[in-house]
Amino acid sequence: MTQTPHGYQENGEDLRSYDRPSMTVDLALLTVRSGALHALLTRRDSRPFEGHWALPGGFVRIDESLGAAARRVLRDKAHLAEAFIEQLYTFGAVGRDPRGRVVTVAYYALVDEEQLAAARQASDSLVLGEIVVPWPGEAGGPVQLHSDEGAVLPLAFDHADILGMAVKRLRGKLDYSPVGFELLPKRFTLRQLQEVHEAILGTKLNKPAFRRRMLDKGVLHATGARETGATYRPAELYRFIERSAATPMEKEG
């Protein structure tokens, strides 16, 4: 590609003669709350989809990379300074945005409930919706979001598909990657670890078998401390030997 006084050219053609789709990033920010997988949502106050719920997102600026745009959305829309975040998928169906030709690069981010609760205090426009998955295993497809009262939260654009892809990705990575630990505090009980796995998989697990499998992997370190505030016998606290499931934030250009 070469640059001329009239713009960039490829194979002798001026790129200005081609249509230019807009580019956005959307962030599927997930946490486990009350034993279920939840996503952070914001209510749209303008068209299209006014009054619907949407994932935090924004248009990519002409002078920023995709990773920089995702970090900006994480900071400005989700009010989080950092989180485990990974590129998920590109959604580019024609007509996915009524405003015009818009392609979005979706990311998913994982935080523990306490971290996200602190971030939500920064904005009263953010809510947590419980993810209800209508398909088994890694079949994939759109999901529903429910309020605390059980009402269906209408989602804007193709955000039900984005969240479905995020759940499918998590389920696929859970067994061979430490991604589930990103949804836990630094010190956690085996009960909390099992709740995270059950929330992601959408099924109950055998307690003795699960604990034996986790301990046999050699990725847990017993801290010697016990949980506080429990009404029953306090459980021992563990920590993950390596905290990161992958690169915390994609670094680009």
Domains of the chain: 14-173 (3.90.79.10), 181-240 (1.10.10.10)
- pLDDT, average across residues 14-22: 87
Is the pLDDT at 227 greater than 50? The verdict is: yes
- pLDDT, average across residues 25-36: 97
Separation of alpha carbons 44 and 36, rounded Å: 24
Tell me the pLDDT band of 182, cut-offs 50, 70 and 90: very high
Separation of alpha carbons 26 and 55, rounded Å: 6
Tell me the pLDDT band of 12, cut-offs 50, 70 and 90: low
Positive or negative: CA dihedral 77, 166, 252, 246: positive
112-148 tens-digit pLDDT: 999 888 888 888 889 999 999 999 999 999 999 999 9
Is the pLDDT at 76 greater than 50? The verdict is: yes
- pLDDT, average across residues 79-86: 94
Positive or negative: CA dihedral 193, 140, 50, 68: positive
Q: What is the pLDDT of residue 247?
A: 46
Separation of alpha carbons 164 and 46, rounded Å: 25
First to last CA, the chain: 18
Amino acid at 106: A
The token pair at 103 is 């392609």
Q: What is the pLDDT of residue 16?
A: 83
SS3 239: strand
